Structure 1
C-alpha cells in the first residue's frame, strides 16, 4: 500500500490577495502566484485581503486541526504599523488584555500577550497608500496564541491607533525571511522540518 506524500509550502502572501484558490469574492487569489502547486493544496490559517506575510499551504487536510484546533496553543507573530506614537501605557494595555468586539457582537477580553515596539521591517515594498513621511507612525511586534477574527486590528483600534499595515512574520518557529523571500514567492519545506518547527508532535 502506497503512503500518500503530502507537501508543505511557505508563502509570502502579498497585500491585496485572498488566501484561497477559488471563490466568489473579487480580487487576486493564490492561483496567480507563479508556482505549480499540486492539486488539493489549501491554506492553513488565512490572512485577510489587506494583510501580508507568512501563509502556510499544504495538501495535508489534518494540519489545520493539529495546529489551530488542538489543545496546545501555538504562537503567531506579527509586525504591525499603526498611526501615531504608541506609549508605554498603551503597550501595557495591549500586553495585559483588552476588550474587543467579536462575532455576534459580544465583548471579549484578549488573553495576555507579548507586545513591544519594533523597527520598521526591511524588505517590504512600499504600498500605493503608504503614509506621507511627515505623518508619525509606530511599528509593534505582537505575539498571540489565539486568533479571533481580525483580532490584531481590533486590539490596536481599541487603544485608539489605526492599523496601517499588518504582516505575519512567524508561526511558532517557522519564520518568514522578509529580505530573502519577497512578496509572492513560495518555498517548499520537508514534512519533518515543517512539523518540527511548528512544535507539533505525533503527526
Structure 2
C-alpha cells in the first residue's frame, strides 16, 4: 500500500482528470502510482491537506461518517471574528445541504492569531473598507462546502479556506503544491483515529 499527502493548491480539482479548464492532480510535478486516489475531496477553491492512497480500508475509515474523523480548517473570513460568532459555530447551526435544512454537529471554533499562510495564487481580493480575520474550525462531519456555509451563516463569509489537519495528520510546513509519502508512524496515527 502507498500513502501520500499533498498541500493542494487553490484552483486545482481533487481528481486526476481535468474538467472545466481547472488544473488537476495529474498537473502536479509528481509521479503518483496509478493505483492511488484521493481520500475525499477539497473543492477547487479550497486548499490544504489531501491524502492519496490505494488502501481502501483506510479510505473507508476516514470517510465513514460514524467514525467522526475530525478535520481542522483555517478560514480567512470577511469581517471581525467575535466570541458570539465562535459560540454559534461551536454549538451547531442550520445550513442548507442538498436543498434541505441540516443542523451541524458540535464543532471547535477559535480565533486564529498564528502565522498567516503564504499568499495563494491568485491572492484574495483586498478591499480597504472591509476588514478580514482568521479562524480555525474543527468539524467531524463533511457536508458539501460545510465550512463556507457555516461561516456565512454567522455573517463571516469565507474568502480563503485551508484544510490543516485530518485526525492526527497535520499539513505542518508543507509548501503549496508539495507532495510527500507518509511515514509508517503517520499512517499508524491515521488508522487509530483521534
TM-score under structure 1 normalisation? 0.88
Gaps of 5+ in 2: none
Call closer, same or farther: CA 1:183–1:107 in 2, change over 3 Å. same
CA distance in 2, matches of 1:177, 1:129: 21
**By percentage of residues, which structure has more helix?**
2
Answer yes or no: is 1:182 the counterpart of 2:175: yes
Aligned length, in residue pairs: 192
- Rg larger in structure: 1
* Distance apart, 1:128 and its partner CA: 2.8
Decide which moves more: 8-17 or 56-65: 56-65
Answer yes or no: is 1:49 the counterpart of 2:44: yes
CA distance in 2, matches of 1:145, 1:17: 24
Answer yes or no: is 1:108 the counterpart of 2:111: no
Moved over 6 A (4+): none
Matched residue, 1:14: 9
Call closer, same or farther: CA 1:47–1:177 in 2, change over 3 Å. same
Q: For the Cα contact (< 8 Å) 2:58–2:191, is it kept in 1?
A: no
Call closer, same or farther: CA 1:158–1:123 in 2, change over 3 Å. closer
Matched residue, 1:198: 190
CA distance in 2, matches of 1:122, 1:82: 13
* Distance apart, 1:195 and its partner CA: 3.2
CA distance in 2, matches of 1:199, 1:7: 14
CA distance in 2, matches of 1:90, 1:125: 25
Q: For the Cα contact (< 8 Å) 2:10–2:120, is it kept in 1?
A: no
Gaps of 5+ in 1: 1-5
CA distance in 1, matches of 2:164, 2:115: 10
